[in-house]
Amino acid sequence: MQLRTEIEIDAPPDRVWDVLTDLAAYPEWNPFLVSASGQLAPGERLQITLGFGDGRQSRVQPTVLTVDAPSELRWRARFFVKGLFDGEHFFKLVPIDGTRTRFVHGEDFTGILVQAMGRTLTETARGCVGMNQALKKRVEQS
């Protein structure tokens, strides 16, 4: 199952990429990925805290899959054991006319528990939309 959201940002991809990849600044602006640390390089593990609208938080340690500046960032988290409920989180930055960016953000979910995780999927979708809006505001005000 794929979750996909997108938003247009009035800034070129390089500027959006700089904000997106500044993990240390996430607590200042990001309502969904409320903290993140680690090295953005393929094969590296990140430490991420997800924030949900109801106040819950969840920690994940995804493995970085793709770092292709300034166009794509992708990581995969496995919840519990491989094949139960896995998520491949992605960010794509698509240039629009040289001055704007289409920010595509989502997650590909796989595993035998995907159908049973409806609430988590809904909260993840809301989190992605909230992050998109906050990223737009942060980039456009900088």
Q: Read off the pLDDT of residues 83-113 as tens digits, 9 standing for 90 and up.
A: 656 888 999 999 999 899 999 999 887 665 5
The token duo for 6 is 């997108």
Mean of the pLDDT values across residues 48-71? 93
Mean of the pLDDT values across residues 28-53? 96
Closest CA to 113 of 66, 88, 69, 81: 81
CATH 3.40.50.720 assigned to 2-141: no
Domain ranges of the chain: 2-141
pTM of the predicted protein model: 0.91
Phi-psi map region of 10: left, alpha, beta (phi>0 left; psi -120 to 50 alpha): beta
The token duo for 105 is 């953000």
